[in-house]
Amino acid sequence: MSTGTAQAGHTAAGATGDAVCVVRDLVKTYPAVRAGRGAPALPETRATDGISLDVRRGEIFGLLGPNGAGKSTLVRQLTGLLRPDSGTVELLGHDLVRHPERAARLLAYLGQESTALDELTVALAAETTGRLRGLRAREARAARDEVLEELALTPLAHKPLKKLSGGQRRLACFAAALVGERPVLVLDEPTTGMDPVARRAVWSAVDRRRAQCGATVLLVTHNVIEAETVLDRVAVVDRGKVIACDTPAGLKALVSDEVRLDLVWRQAPPLDVPEVAALRPKATEAGRRWLLRLPQDQARAAVAAVTGGPAFAALDDFTLATPSLEDVYLALGGRTKGLVRT
Amino acid sequence: MTDQCVAPAAPLAPRARLWPALGAVYRAQLSRARVARIPLLFVATFQSVGIMVLMRGVVDGGSEARAVVAGSSVLVVAFVALNLLAQYFGQLRAGGGLDHYATLPVPPASVVLGAAAAYASFTLPGTLVTAVFGCLLFGLPMGGLWILLLVVPLAGAALAGLGAALGLLAPRQELATLAGQLGMSAALLLGVLPPERMPELVVRARDLLPSTYGVEAFARTFAASPDWGAVALDLAVCGAVGVLSLALATWAYRRAAVR
């Protein structure tokens, strides 16, 4: 067993021998779309623009970026669903560009859509997926029961997915992805809409598979908090390119000299206070909220200014925090919107 | 890549085999249909029953009545297998649902045949109800209704294959729905109306429709002493078209699943 062998401590060099998935210079361009009735013309889009990655055995590797960054297009190429224009994808020693059909025999994929399973009951969705993953009837039933129990879905086993809440439906699709073990799990935003209990169930199920079978996980997310807590390494994707790839801690070290200051005003900000007026050009404003990224000494001075005198009377709330992956993303030149913190 | 340490390729998990996978898809699709499509089966049956009631005033027994009853019964198959299956595959493709199957090691034929078989067998009760009602309405003998056990799967295969292919090949979901509706309208107009009254050109078009042979086979069994050779020939044509249209649908699935 190779439990957690490739962890945060590894450096990029010399670790490729243990790579599960090796991606080199991957390019995928969507052709321009002519304007149709009610649809605007779209220019040619490079959804994947020369991406190279190494995912190591046993790690949870994340692709972080806002919607439209090219994460899902990249994942579709890694799962054999989409043919790249050029570049190579090697998964567990198999060339997936030449043999895309092998992907299904190496990995389990949880896509964003549940259309194929929506009208089935949770139990039948899991069992059928297991059967189609090559399990015998008895094995599929046993695996189904085990996974539903593990994810606390047994009470919902006989409900159709359609009748479940968004988070429960997502969990049921995740259950289907786990039936019939695979050494690689590719999960595209698996926890969307889930409550904290369901999220915990997902991450402990993932951890169990890592510990027991050395499974490798490729995770797509636009949630920075999730990325920071569960990922071993993360590639930050923006406009079809990987703009950084390291451990979350390593990435945050890039912006460690900055802190993040959130100010919420009761009503209008007190611009008659000179210190507050001076902060305004540096702030990203969203309604009554100001978001500032400042060097530590300036942040201290700003906090002193807003927590004393007339500025404090106008202040509703403030938080001071160390930088998150969102700050890293912005510092690296990512577009401003689209990552979530929930 | 020369800088990679070449590790032996990991073993591939086994593929799902054709028949077990087909069975799994069939079972799942049948349960889906039970949950979601029962109201539509009622619609299909009432539609056919309504058509027969309407035709009762126009047709006065004989070969025309046989054609109406046979055509209305097979229309239920066309409604579900052609129209609903085209919609289903169109929706599956548009909604990204094909990714689910495409990332499982399942033969394309299992997915297409499983779904087609489920939709076709789902039509059997509606077809039987329609046929029995038609026989009572027009006073036809019911001794030959067992032929439906052959007509439904064979015409079902032909129509379901066509429906699946339309759904998978249509560039947009709405076009898949439209194609399914048009196919069903063709089955309605060309299948239900007695061919004796049709112009030559329309009779030719009727010969091109796979459901026609199912209708003909069924209509022949109402005769006092049916020409079993002709029935078998009709059914054979139906089966052959079924094989072709299912092959087309399988090809369309492959094409739609990996882009």
**Which chain B residues are within 8 Å of A89, Cβ to Cβ?**
none
Interface of A with B in 88-127 (CB under 8 A): 88, 90, 92-94, 100-109, 111-117, 119-121, 124-125, 127
Residues A102 and A218 in one domain: yes
**Which chain A residues are within 8 Å of B16, Cβ to Cβ?**
131-134
Of B137 and B63, the structure prediction assigns the larger pLDDT to B137
* Residue A41 included in any domain: no
The CATH number that applies at residue A144 is 3.40.50.300
- Contacts for B174 with CB less than 8 Å, ≥ 6 apart: none
DSSP string covering A268-308? S--TTSHHHHHHGGGPEEETTEEEEEEEHHHHHHHHHHHTS
Residues A202 and A56 in one domain: yes
A214 contact B CB<8A? no
Which pLDDT does position B81 carry in this prediction?
Answer: 87
Domain of A247, in residue numbers: 16-30+46-252
CA distance A38 to A33: 13
* Residue A108 included in any domain: yes
Element (H, E) at A109: strand A107-110
Residue A76, amino acid: R
Tokens 């087909």 -> residue: B22
Say yes or no to pLDDT of A27 above 50.
yes
A12 contact B CB<8A? no
**Which chain A residues are within 8 Å of B14, Cβ to Cβ?**
105, 134
Model pLDDT for residues B121-149, shown as the tens digit of each residue: 888 889 999 999 999 999 999 888 999 99
CB pair distance less than 8 Å for B9 and A92: yes
Say yes or no to pLDDT of B5 above 50.
no
- State which residue of chain B sits closest to A140, comparing Cα positions: B24
Half-sphere exposure of A213 (CA within 13 A, CB side): 13
Nearest to B13 by CA among A70, A224, A129, A135: A135
Tokens 């399914």 -> residue: B180
* Residue B1 included in any domain: no
Residues A138 and A270 in one domain: no
Question: Residue range B145-163: average pLDDT?
Answer: 91
Nearest to A54 by CA among A188, A194, A253, A216: A216
Query: Cα dihedral angle (A163, A167, A168, A171), rounded to 10 degrees?
Result: 130
**Which chain A residues are within 8 Å of B91, Cβ to Cβ?**
115
How deeply is A3 buried, as exposed, middle or buried, from its count of CB atoms within 10 A (0-12, 13-18, 19+)?
A: exposed
**What is the total residue count of chain A?**
342
- Count of domains in chain A? 2
The alpha-carbon gap from A19 to the nearest alpha carbon of chain B, in Å, equals 9
Say yes or no to pLDDT of A12 above 50.
no
The alpha-carbon gap from B94 to the nearest alpha carbon of chain A, in Å, equals 9
Q: What is the mean pLDDT of chain A?
A: 87
Picking from A17, A82, A115, the nearest residue to B91 by CB comes out as A115
Say yes or no to pLDDT of B18 above 60.
yes
CB pair distance less than 8 Å for A92 and B91: no
- Indicate the pLDDT class of residue A13, thresholds 50, 70 and 90: very low
SS3 annotation, A34-51: CCECCECCECCEEEEEEE
CA distance A215 to A21: 12
* Residue A334 included in any domain: no
Model pLDDT for residues B88-108, shown as the tens digit of each residue: 999 998 888 899 999 999 999
**Which chain A residues are within 8 Å of B21, Cβ to Cβ?**
131-132
Q: What angle do CA B31, A108, A219 make, to 5 degrees?
A: 120
Q: Are A222 and A338 in contact (CB under 8 A)?
A: yes
Which pLDDT does position A14 carry in this prediction?
Answer: 40
Which pLDDT does position A336 carry in this prediction?
Answer: 53
* Residue B13 included in any domain: no
Interface of B with A in 159-218 (CB under 8 A): none
Say yes or no to pLDDT of A6 above 50.
no
* Residue A301 included in any domain: yes
- State which residue of chain B sits closest to A161, comparing Cα positions: B32
Residues A103 and A187 in one domain: yes
Q: Which of A55, A90, A131, A136 to mutate to test the interface with B (most CBs of B within 10 A)?
A: A131
B16 contact A CB<8A? yes
**Which chain B residues are within 8 Å of A81, Cβ to Cβ?**
99, 102-103, 257-259
Residues A264 and A218 in one domain: no
* Residue B4 included in any domain: no
Residues A148 and A242 in one domain: yes
Model pLDDT for residues A62-81, shown as the tens digit of each residue: 999 888 888 989 999 999 99
Residue A116, amino acid: A
* Residue A337 included in any domain: no
CA distance B115 to B103: 18
Structure tokens at B44: 């299909």
Q: Are A259 and A296 in contact (CB under 8 A)?
A: yes
* Residue B243 included in any domain: yes
B3 contact A CB<8A? yes
- Out of A252, A270, A285, pick the residue that ends a domain: A252
Residues A229 and A167 in one domain: yes
CB pair distance less than 8 Å for B259 and A124: no
* Residue B36 included in any domain: yes
Q: Which of A115, A117, A158, A159 to mutate to test the interface with B (most CBs of B within 10 A)?
A: A115
* Residue B6 included in any domain: no
Model pLDDT for residues A173-211, shown as the tens digit of each residue: 999 999 998 999 999 999 988 999 999 999 999 999 999
**Which chain A residues are within 8 Å of B96, Cβ to Cβ?**
111-113, 115
Helix residue ranges, H only, chain A = 71-78, 122-132, 137-150, 166-178, 196-213, 224-230, 248-253, 274-279, 296-306, 309-314, 325-331
* Residue A273 included in any domain: yes
Residues A270 and A242 in one domain: no
Question: Residue range B197-226: average pLDDT?
Answer: 86
- Indicate the pLDDT class of residue A8, thresholds 50, 70 and 90: very low
Which pLDDT does position B33 carry in this prediction?
Answer: 75
The CATH number that applies at residue A300 is 3.30.70
Q: Which of A97, A118, A132 to mutate to test the interface with B (most CBs of B within 10 A)?
A: A132
What φ, ψ does residue A295 adopt, rounded to 5°? -60, 155
A81 contact B CB<8A? yes
Question: Residue range B196-216: average pLDDT?
Answer: 85
Residues A114 and A208 in one domain: yes
pTM equals: 0.85
CB pair distance less than 8 Å for A128 and B10: no
Interface of A with B in 162-181 (CB under 8 A): 180
Classify the phi-psi angles of A33: left when phi > 0, otherwise alpha if psi is within -120 to 50, otherwise beta. Answer: beta
B53 contact A CB<8A? no
Which pLDDT does position A5 carry in this prediction?
Answer: 37
Domain of B159, in residue numbers: 18-257
CB pair distance less than 8 Å for B16 and A134: yes
B99 contact A CB<8A? yes
Residues A115 and A222 in one domain: yes
- Count of domains in chain B? 1
**Which chain A residues are within 8 Å of B24, Cβ to Cβ?**
127-128, 131-132, 140
**Which chain B residues are within 8 Å of A111, Cβ to Cβ?**
96, 99-100, 103
Nearest to A92 by CA among B214, B97, B9: B9
DSSP secondary-structure letter at B5?
-
Residue A333, amino acid: G
Say yes or no to pLDDT of A239 above 70.
yes
Which pLDDT does position A139 carry in this prediction?
Answer: 95
CB pair distance less than 8 Å for B96 and A115: yes
CA distance B113 to A164: 29
Say yes or no to pLDDT of A1 above 50.
no
Residues A261 and A116 in one domain: no
CB pair distance less than 8 Å for A115 and B25: no
Residues A269 and A215 in one domain: no
* Residue B98 included in any domain: yes
A340 contact B CB<8A? no
